[in-house]
Structure 1
Amino acid sequence: MKILVVAPSWIGDTILAQPLLALLKRKHPDARIEVLAPNWSAPLLGRMGEVDAVIVNPFGHGEFNFGARRALGRRLASADFSKAYVLPNSWKSALVPFFAGIPRRIGYQGEARYLLLNERHRLDASAHPQLVQRYAALAGPPPATLPQPHLSSTVEQQQAVRRELGLPLDAAPVIFCPGAEYGPAKRWPSQHFAALARLVASPQNPVWLVGSAKDAAVGDEISAAAEGAALNLCGRSSLEQAIDLIASARCVVSNDSGLMHVAAALGRPLVALYGSSSPAYTPPLSAEAEIISRNLPCSPCFKRECPLGHFDCMNGITPEQIAANVTAKLRS
């Protein structure tokens, strides 16, 4: 059996899709699972044992390009997939499996997908409040305890990336992930990160900032305000390198972001900061994760910027509070 999974576009959502992949492998141990995903997700999928191959989805966020989607589907028609699981809810995300002629095309009803999907699920949000549960339910009634996401990272890979970036091989870093692609309402203020770095950095546990090129500017702000207590690696490392950097961390402090879910899937001690988003919907799936949220009446608002202008949900989480959490994890 060959199964195609159309993956979500976001890094965090891709991690949350892994329990579905594990359930599919459980049901069909000999199945070959291939994932249609954006190029930037390929390093994650390559670290998942359930994934046999990645097919690059060339379409950017919001890009339609009907003709190119039809052409891609027709190219995949000869691959003999027997099932396709379409995780995004958009109409366009179901086009490729349809044009590939895959016999069973499975997903949530979504937006006008009556012809494109022939096994449509209706979302029961009360039964499945978490995104990971919603993905997993596409494989059938999910077990009481879902498989946990897991990304592989060897000591050899971790040492190699440190050599590539000129980092000390014996450091046990505290890693901060200060970015959040969705918008500033999900980001703990840079001055708070800087103050936290000054509180927790030590020769044994240096603070490293990890993120994409889009996070380089905020990383520079934090590094400058930290007065030498934080090394900015944002934009200096690829996603694959970031996986191996995070895998060797003594502790990770992160906004609700893709890298937060990466840290959870690597089993690292994690302090996860929530403001405008909801830990009830997309929590880090790890027993090593500690969720910090002020649970204000105005949150979660799910806005890109604070609609009230005060940003109390994040401003009110103090560096001293998080330093206590980090120190406890370093001692454990």
Structure 2
Amino acid sequence: MSYKNILIIRLSAIGDVLHCTPLTRALRQEYPEAKISWIVSPKSQDILQGNPFLDEIVVWDKDEWKKLARNSLKAAYQSLRTLQRTLLAEQYDLAVDVHSQFLPGFITWKSAPVRVGFSNAKEMAPLFYNRMTPRIGDLPMPQQYLGVLTALGISGKNPAMIMPVAPENCQNAGRIWETYHIRPDDTVIVLNSSTTWQTKCWPPEHFARLGNLLRQQGAKILLTGAKSDIPLIDKIKDSIKGEVISLAGETSLKDLAAVAQKCDLFVSGDTGPLHIAAAVGAPTLSLYGPTDPRIYAPAGEQHAAVLTPAACRLCHKRRCDDFICMARIEPETVYQEALKLLEKTKGRTKNSQPLYKEVQVRKIPVWNH
């Protein structure tokens, strides 16, 4: 069967949305004439902008809806029904839900006559699908998400993530290089210390120790993070000897992608910026405690991961009272892995992202007051 109007549902988060982007390539190859749309939350929409396989980004604020639900369940239900009617009016003939929870499943329901999802999705989401396939949980994340298409008889074979960088973002990164007098022959290493899970955070003193070791090798150190991370990042910066460049709160997601594309190594915990760096071809060294690097770490020869030796590892908890597992990853261990990866990726050929294409954006309000 040939589909003409396709909706992908993955509302958040940054890393997960990025892991799902290979779906757009596979669907475009299978249905070259189809209109392909993606419904996503505002915080993740920049991940999709520029994707040449997409025709439309539909923005709907899941977090705002949750606030509404806390105040009035009736209003929240009415909001969802309004969203469903809006999507129904678009006459999608195929909806692919890779968020796999009750709320996205409910959004999927009635949005299209054919609704695809994982048979082992969480929170009763399979109740809303009529085409299903099991999710194979021990595969790397992009391959897991691509697997949903087997319900349509499609074998997606290319798990490479898609995040084209716009020329203006490349120019912004170039200005950073000029401002801080970074030369073409400098070794530039990004240390990204911020994560959304408390349990994924590597201690700031460990980042500082790593920074000092890398500075001894003459590396230029860039620190990245959100505006809310500035106190933490300033603490790291002040503990590293010599010039350290902090970009905390100064880059958009697209600017961060352009910066990562120019660097020689990106060191981070398991978080969205790590996967952005991997998507644009930066060598990455990632640090793991509660999550499994076999599933969540970037795959490929120019990537490496360090897993904590702590016995409590792979717990998948977002918060922890002990908080020892990430601290058990020694800076000297990460430093040695960094040196190996820098040597291995010296003179690398950058991966080729498809050309950036501006994608139409349509916003659907959560609640019309």
Question: TM-score higher than 0.5 here?
Answer: yes
Aligned-partner Cα distance in 2 for 1:88–1:151: 19
Specify the alignment match of 1:147 in structure 2: 159
Tell me: CA distance 1:236–1:160, structure 2 relative to 1, closer, same or farther (3 Å). Answer: closer
Unaligned runs of at least 5 residues, structure 1 = none
Amino acid at match of 2:146: A
Question: Are residue 91 (structure 1) and residue 106 (structure 2) matched?
Answer: no
Aligned-partner Cα distance in 2 for 1:97–1:290: 37
Specify the alignment match of 2:353 in structure 1: none
Aligned-partner Cα distance in 2 for 1:96–1:225: 48
Aligned-partner Cα distance in 2 for 1:91–1:306: 26
Specify the alignment match of 2:51 in structure 1: 48
Q: 1:130-209 maps to which residues of 2 (within 5 A)?
A: 130-140=140-150, 143=155, 145-153=157-165, 157-163=169-175, 167-168=179-180, 170-171=182-183, 172=186, 173-183=188-198, 185-201=199-215, 205-209=219-223
Aligned-partner Cα distance in 2 for 1:46–1:144: 22
User: Alpha-carbon deviation of 1:145?
Assistant: 4.8
Secondary structure at the aligned position of 1:297 is classed as coil
Aligned-partner Cα distance in 1 for 2:273–2:50: 14
8 Å Cα contact 1:84-1:104 kept in structure 2: yes
Aligned-partner Cα distance in 1 for 2:60–2:266: 30
User: Alpha-carbon deviation of 1:289?
Assistant: 0.8
Structure 1, residues 216-243: CA drift from partner, whole Å, max 9, x if none?
2221221122244432222222212211
Amino acid at match of 1:45: L
User: Alpha-carbon deviation of 1:44?
Assistant: 1.0
Aligned-partner Cα distance in 1 for 2:197–2:21: 21
User: Alpha-carbon deviation of 1:286?
Assistant: 3.7
Q: Which moved more, 1:137-146 or 1:2-11?
A: 137-146
Question: Are residue 18 (structure 1) and residue 32 (structure 2) matched?
Answer: no
Structure 1, residues 93-148: CA drift from partner, whole Å, max 9, x if none?
12333243x111111243234553222334454xx544333311111167595431
State the structure with bigger RCO (CA 8 A, min sep 6), 1 or 2. Answer: 2
Unaligned runs of at least 5 residues, structure 2 = 70-75, 347-369
Secondary structure at the aligned position of 1:201 is classed as helix
Tell me: CA distance 1:228–1:212, structure 2 relative to 1, closer, same or farther (3 Å). Answer: same
Aligned-partner Cα distance in 1 for 2:166–2:49: 13
TM-score by length of 1: 0.87
Which of structure 1's runs of 4+ aligned residues deviate more than 6 A? none
8 Å Cα contact 2:39-2:58 kept in structure 1: yes
Amino acid at match of 1:302: H
Specify the alignment match of 1:59 in structure 2: 62
8 Å Cα contact 1:6-1:93 kept in structure 2: yes
Match 2:301 to one of 267, 287, 292: 287
Provide the aligned length of Structure 1 versus Structure 2: 326
TM-score by length of 2: 0.79
Specify the alignment match of 1:243 in structure 2: 257
Q: Which moved more, 1:249-258 or 1:314-323?
A: 314-323
CA RMSD of aligned residues (A): 2.7
Q: Which moved more, 1:320-329 or 1:261-270?
A: 320-329
8 Å Cα contact 2:149-2:156 kept in structure 1: no
Tell me: CA distance 1:244–1:214, structure 2 relative to 1, closer, same or farther (3 Å). Answer: same
Taking every aligned residue pair, what percent have the same amino acid on both sides? 24
User: Alpha-carbon deviation of 1:62?
Assistant: 7.9
